[in-house]
Amino acid sequence: MNYTGSCHCGKIAFDVEGEVNEVIECNCSYCRRKGSLLWFVKRDLLQLKTPETNLSKYQFNKHVINHYFCSTCGCAPFGEGVDAMAGMAAVNVRCLEGIEPSTLKINQYDGRSK
């Protein structure tokens, strides 16, 4: 399955391939505030359709994830791992077209304690 995703204003747009059957809802201080539902895929399955220069980056805590967001609309459509987590992307399924989050299995992840 191929999905198209974007931030709210479209300054960040991408395609991602795979099957979305379940997602993670993390309770860390960042994800909880954003309300993200994360789908993890190999980074090479996510292809940017807009320039990388459109991505603003935020890191916190252990700096193992580059949390990308749009500096125009503030939406955070995906992140990617660094170091031991390199090669993985965390896609916010709320930013994908054609996905109804209420139909997905939502797994709780205790990021607050990690």
Evaluate if pTM is beyond 0.85.
yes
Q: What is the residue extent of each domain of the chain?
A: 2-113
Residue 84 has pLDDT above 80, yes or no: no
Confidence tier at 83 by pLDDT (50, 70, 90) = confident
Q: Give residue-wise pLDDT tens across range 19-68.
A: 999 999 999 999 999 999 999 999 999 999 999 999 999 998 888 889 99
Q: Are strands 105-109 and 22-26 parallel, antiparallel or unpaired?
A: parallel
Alpha-carbon torsion, ordered 81, 75, 17, 43, to 10 deg:
-20
The pLDDT of residue 48 is 98
Fold of 2-113: 2.170.150
Residue 75 has pLDDT above 90, yes or no: yes
Which residue type occupies 4? T
